[in-house]
Amino acid sequence: MTKSTFDIAVFPGDGIGVEVTPITLELVKAACEKYDVECNFTNLEAGAAYYQEHGVALPEDSMATAKASDAILLACMGMPSIRYPDGREIAPQLELRETLDLYAGVRPVKTLKGLPLPLADKRGHELDFVLIRESTEGLFASRNRFEKEGDDVAKDTQVITRKGSERLFNFAFKMGQRRKQLGYSGAVTCVDKANVLGSFFFFRQIFDQVAQNYTDVEANHIYVDAAALQLVRQPWMFDVMVTENMFGDILSDLGAGLMGGMGMAPSADIGDDHAVFQPCHGSAPDIMGQGKANPSAMFLSAAMMLDWLGDKFDNQGAVKAAQDITKAVEAAYESGEILPFEFGGTSGTQAIYDTVFAKLKQLQNNSITC
């Protein structure tokens, strides 16, 4: 089905979320205008602050609106100081993943020119790979079924299913095919702990079975501890990584570190019918209200959203708008005009937005190239 008008559910959430969301919506509108693409944004309430006031983290009407939307853009939710009675942080984003069956957590790792990055090797400044995290099963599956035996034993149980693994691996191999067409290696690497845990041996067996349907894509394995080592030592060896929920949660933060920090790391949680797009960073209560938040990951997450919408609804204008936002962010950093606080710079939220917006306009007026 072709569409040119999209209904977007927006969750500003907590902390710096309310600071990076409005400017992101303005950037999206500006990028889309050139291609006659319209986005209707509906701001929805949820998160830790909402829970503190109302006793519920994700109200039913917000969930219903999100479910009826074309896509969901989420800034960040949760505050360390506000928790459920059992000690867990407020995380409605997990409820969205589970309710909407968003099984593929896509975490791109792409470094940008103009930033001081942690790896000295030149190849560490030219990274471009993707980690795909299963987002509905694994160790996270037991978060609402925690078992405790008195004061001596606590148990969380990992869940790996054939259905969940097959759809995850099909998603990963299809991404490998698409990346191969774009000039990347397209190789898909399964990250597990199959040498120790039977559930991961099962996970790996399913990976090998699914791989037989994608003979045009290279399939590899690596244990998670070795993967962590290689992500520091030579991350350029990877193209598409696919793993379980908890491992993906940890390794994606390592990937964000390779990019310079959470403020540069976008993400998406994608299912067959719905998708949520959000920066990898949290609510950052230590800097909220100070104008120091880096909105770049939110901008790039919105670009991922437009690209997904364009593909899903056969709208090349949305795809081009996504490309323009991504190129504008890249041009802003490559110019050397901005450097966020987490890199030791002095560019705050508004300055980063102003620079990216200016680069977007120059790009769309064909006055710069990227």
Question: Higher-confidence residue: 252 or 140?
Answer: 252
Total residue count of the chain as it appears in this document: 370
Confidence band of 227 (pLDDT split at 50, 70, 90): very high
What is the pLDDT, as a whole number, of residue 366? 84
Q: What is the pLDDT of residue 370?
A: 43
Q: How far apart are CA 245 and CA 161, in angstroms?
A: 13
Mean pLDDT value across the chain: 95
- The structure's pTM equals 0.94
Domains of the chain as residue ranges with CATH? 1-109+260-370 (3.40.718.10), 117-259 (3.40.718.10)
Q: Helices in the chain by DSSP H: which ranges?
A: 17-33, 48-54, 60-68, 92-99, 162-181, 198-211, 224-233, 245-259, 296-312, 316-334, 349-364
Q: Is the pLDDT of residue 88 over 90?
A: no
Cα(226)–Cα(260) distance, integer angstroms: 22
Longest pairwise C-alpha distance within the chain: 68
Q: Which two tokens stand for residue 272?
A: 């067959």
Closest CA relative to residue 41, chosen from 57, 54, 24: 24
Q: Does residue 1 surpass a pLDDT of 80?
A: no
3-class state of residue 195 by DSSP: coil
Decide if 37 contacts 6 (C-beta within 8 A): yes
Residues 317-341: pLDDT tens digits? 999 999 999 999 999 999 999 999 9
